[in-house]
Structure 1
Amino acid sequence: MTEIMTIITTVGSSLFTNFIDEKKKLKNEHDELADLLYCKSNVSNYGEEIELFRERLPKYIRETENACAEISSIKKIIEKIKDKTFHIHLLASETILSWLSAAIIKEKLEEEGYIVHFEEKEDIIDGLQVKDAKRFEKEGLVNFVERVLQISNYGYNTVLNITGGYKALIPYATLLSQFYQMPMFYLFGDRFISKEEYTLIEFPQSPITINWGMFEKYESVLKDLKKGIKDWDMYKREHNIEDDFSACISTTDGKDAFLNAIGEMFYQKYQQFHMVYVLQNGPLSKVSRIKERQILNKGIENLVNRLNQFIQNNGLENATKEELFRKINEDEKDILNHARRQGDDFFICKCPRTKPEVRLLYTFDYVNGELKKLVIYDYRIGNFEHDDYIDEFRTFYRNNKDGKVIPYLQVKMNQ
């Protein structure tokens, strides 16, 4: 069975403009539809004009090479990547012309045997229009980012095709492409200026460094921004917020602040990871051997994902920290809580199936259904004394449990 690859394609109205420029027909009907937003009343009121295009555009696509930039680019991407089962997903702006283009493109591609998805309720992006700039920024861009991430499962086996649609989307799509490692394509050329073959351009991937500690610092603020904050200046004063993540926020005269599209990208990415801490100048902060660090990182990743799986499997999403600690203490699998003793406020993870064997001394906070501040205090790898290390862990934790901790590792959460 071949691997499935999703092609997310933004849809504009070039199909209409190409048709009108070439056929010199239906210009008046096009102009009547051009400024309309997509809604049931507009679709009903302009049904006659819509049907004229529904009748003529499919024939125009069949008879005209490169009649539709979206279709041409999709086929070139498939030709370039090859050897996959492709699912094409169309995203339209909140306009009559984009909706109608997407519906016609879907029909034509399906006639040729392609698998195409376009659900009007989800894939016509609310707020993606050019009449209201504030709404475009506050709703359209954010909704676009959320829908792309939802379709792609955070970039998994997905490419972005931004040949069609608003050019204002390109910088945001580029950031999405970089953050989530999604190849991005654009079909370069103008069919009415150049008769040469179009060129498919792939945007290069480049490493981006993100200060995830900032998102850890402002996590509760980000949640409030997702809902919207009415008086940002007052909120900043009350919460002692600095301007170190201003690029993620949009405001109106210091008032109604909200998480913008860039902030949404960062925040969604941040939620895929869990930050693990270690003691400053403690055993893990001093690990220098690459192989030893790799073994430790693998063990820590296993621990984080097992903890989250334990919470889900036992329905503990709404549990308190005390309830979760008690449940782990009752667990008989002896992985998350090896060599337990009554009254311990720490745990020992016996990393399963690792060679060499690994033990991790850890504890954590648990707030509102989420692991917080997972701290690894000490570890053992390989040829350690099984009769001694548990008492050593217990003594070390008692002496260092209040020590300063620092970020050590970002663990990607299992999807």
Structure 2
Amino acid sequence: MSDTLISTVGASLLSNLRTNETLKGLYEKNKSEEIVNYFLNLKEDPENYRGFGAEINSIISILKKGYLTNRKNLYFLVSDTLDGKKIGNILKNFFEKSEYSFEKVEVKVSYKLDDSNPYDFKMYGLKNLIKNMASIIRQHYGSVIINATGGYKAQIAFALALGQGLKVPVYYRFERFPEVIELEPLPLHLDPNLYFICRDLFEELNDDIKLFLEYESIYKSLSKEARIFFDIISIDNEKYISISPMGQIYIESIKNEFFYLSDKIALKKRENNLLLLSSESEGHSKELINKYNLKKVFEEFEYIEKIRVLRFSLSEKSSKAKVKIRGNNLIIILQTKQGIIHLEAETTARDEKELEIIKIKLEEYLSNKF
């Protein structure tokens, strides 16, 4: 049963607004409610009248075809531009007020998804779009579908690829088609062994680009099929390496498999008391450990046996708790108002798959704590 819809967003509605002097003026003054009221009062069919724009046309078509059982959640994925955010707000208001309203409508901006900067668009924007979509799919897995009608051609292509990787139905409406068509997931299985081969490099390059020279030997040791997960680019005559958009789709697809495999694998629980070690050289970390009762926080997570403080910093910045795999252990980075603390944790994992599952569970656990 499907009750959640993800929709990519493009410039179709914006083009239509600019051809109507009244709507153009309202748009320039950021009068989104007045624009929505204009559309709500139109007598035209929102499924077929192009003045509504591709996003509204295609979503109404999806609803009329019965591809969505309940109108519970609607997510609009917009570009990181002023126009993208304004159009997203208009669409949000429309699907909150019209007869096709959803219980919850949310606009998500894909950071640096801006075609005015081709470098940022490729290096960060497309991957952030993929991450946003994958996060929503994991949150509503089994009840989500994708509308990939709107947006840049690259958005549409990667939305389709991600849908294929995560086994999520994707819908698309060609400009001259009277209704949407379903692009069903292919019965393909991604090889998780490539993930373990590339994992160290994936971890190092997460959300970043690095000098290629530092990772050249690792990259060249990979098979040709694994190298497609990485981009090599030149900036000011210097080579850099980053995860490619296709690599990000592969990562999210494999993470999704582990996420749902976690319910089927019985992880080993800690048998003894948690051991938390803090060195004398990191004295400030003890204050933070006590203030946030970190020993109790990690005791409640049953798959960690021992934790060591690696370092403490007042100057570093981090937007959220992060967990990385290093060898057989986890590296945990926690941000607080008093600073950032780096920890290394020994887990109960008996193999690589279990370590990956424990990492996913710990990320989810910490996101609710910090």
TM-score (norm 1): 0.59
Kept after mapping to 2: 8 A contact 1:155/1:182: no
Quote the RMSD (CA, aligned, Å): 3.8
3-state SS of 2:30 partner? helix
Distance 1:173 1:7, change over 3 A: same
| Whole-angstrom CA distance in 2 between matches of 1:130 and 1:20 | 20
Give the alignment partner of residue 216 of structure 1, picking from 193, 196, 207.
Answer: 196
3-state SS of 1:165 partner? coil
- 1:115-134 alignment runs, 5 A limit: 115-119=103-107, 123-134=108-119
Measured after TM superposition, the shift of residue 269 of structure 1 is 2.7
Give the alignment partner of residue 114 of structure 1, picking from 70, 91, 102.
Answer: 102
Kept after mapping to 1: 8 A contact 2:304/2:348: no
Q: Please state if 1:59 is matched with 2:45.
A: no
- What is the CA deviation profile of residues 374-413 of structure 1, one whole-angstrom value per residue up to 9, with x for unaligned ones? 39xxxxxxxxxxxxxxxxxxxxxxxxxxxxxxx9xx9998
Distance 1:75 1:305, change over 3 A: farther
Q: Please state if 1:255 is matched with 2:217.
A: no
| 2:329 aligned partner, one-letter code | V
| Whole-angstrom CA distance in 2 between matches of 1:114 and 1:181 | 24
- 1:219-234 alignment runs, 5 A limit: 219-234=199-214
| 1:159 aligned partner, one-letter code | I
Q: Please state if 1:367 is matched with 2:367.
A: no
| Whole-angstrom CA distance in 2 between matches of 1:134 and 1:265 | 19
Q: Please state if 1:307 is matched with 2:288.
A: no
Measured after TM superposition, the shift of residue 231 of structure 1 is 2.3
| Whole-angstrom CA distance in 2 between matches of 1:320 and 1:92 | 43
Kept after mapping to 1: 8 A contact 2:58/2:147: yes
The range that moved more, 254-263 or 366-375, is: 366-375
Kept after mapping to 2: 8 A contact 1:184/1:202: yes
| Whole-angstrom CA distance in 2 between matches of 1:128 and 1:155 | 24
| Whole-angstrom CA distance in 2 between matches of 1:7 and 1:271 | 21
Q: Please state if 1:184 is matched with 2:165.
A: no
Partner of 2:310 in structure 1? none
| 2:15 aligned partner, one-letter code | T
Kept after mapping to 1: 8 A contact 2:305/2:348: no
- What is the CA deviation profile of residues 283-306 of structure 1, one whole-angstrom value per residue up to 9, with x for unaligned ones? xxxxxxxxxxxxxxx9x985x333
| 1:108 aligned partner, one-letter code | F
Partner of 1:11 in structure 2? 9
| 1:305 aligned partner, one-letter code | A
Distance 1:89 1:309, change over 3 A: farther
- 1:229-240 alignment runs, 5 A limit: 229-237=209-217
Partner of 2:186 in structure 1? 206
| Whole-angstrom CA distance in 1 between matches of 2:140 and 2:270 | 22
Distance 1:313 1:268, change over 3 A: farther
3-state SS of 1:16 partner? helix
| Whole-angstrom CA distance in 1 between matches of 2:85 and 2:127 | 19
| Whole-angstrom CA distance in 1 between matches of 2:304 and 2:357 | 23
Larger radius of gyration: 1
| Whole-angstrom CA distance in 2 between matches of 1:271 and 1:53 | 38
| Whole-angstrom CA distance in 1 between matches of 2:88 and 2:103 | 14
3-state SS of 1:130 partner? coil
Give the alignment partner of residue 98 of structure 1, picking from 60, 77, 84.
Answer: 84
3-state SS of 1:262 partner? helix
| Whole-angstrom CA distance in 1 between matches of 2:116 and 2:197 | 36
| Whole-angstrom CA distance in 2 between matches of 1:214 and 1:308 | 28
| 1:256 aligned partner, one-letter code | Y
Kept after mapping to 2: 8 A contact 1:228/1:256: no
Partner of 2:60 in structure 1? 75
3-state SS of 2:210 partner? coil
Measured after TM superposition, the shift of residue 199 of structure 1 is 2.1
Q: Please state if 1:50 is matched with 2:50.
A: no
Distance 1:227 1:99, change over 3 A: closer
Kindly, what percent of the aligned residue pairs are identical?
A: 18
Partner of 2:134 in structure 1? 149
- 1:310-329 alignment runs, 5 A limit: 314-315=300-301, 318-320=304-306
3-state SS of 1:137 partner? helix
| Whole-angstrom CA distance in 1 between matches of 2:200 and 2:116 | 33
The range that moved more, 202-211 or 129-138, is: 202-211
| Whole-angstrom CA distance in 2 between matches of 1:251 and 1:231 | 10
| Whole-angstrom CA distance in 1 between matches of 2:191 and 2:162 | 17
- What is the CA deviation profile of residues 344-374 of structure 1, one whole-angstrom value per residue up to 9, with x for unaligned ones? xxxxxxxxxxxxxxxxxxxxx9522566663
3-state SS of 1:252 partner? strand
- Kindly tell me the number of residue pairs found equivalent between the two proteins: 286
3-state SS of 2:173 partner? strand
Point out where structure 2 has 5 or more consecutive residues left out of the alignment: 275-297, 308-326, 331-344, 365-370
- What is the CA deviation profile of residues 8-55 of structure 1, one whole-angstrom value per residue up to 9, with x for unaligned ones? 11122211212444x4x269x68xxxxxxxxxxxxxxxx982336763
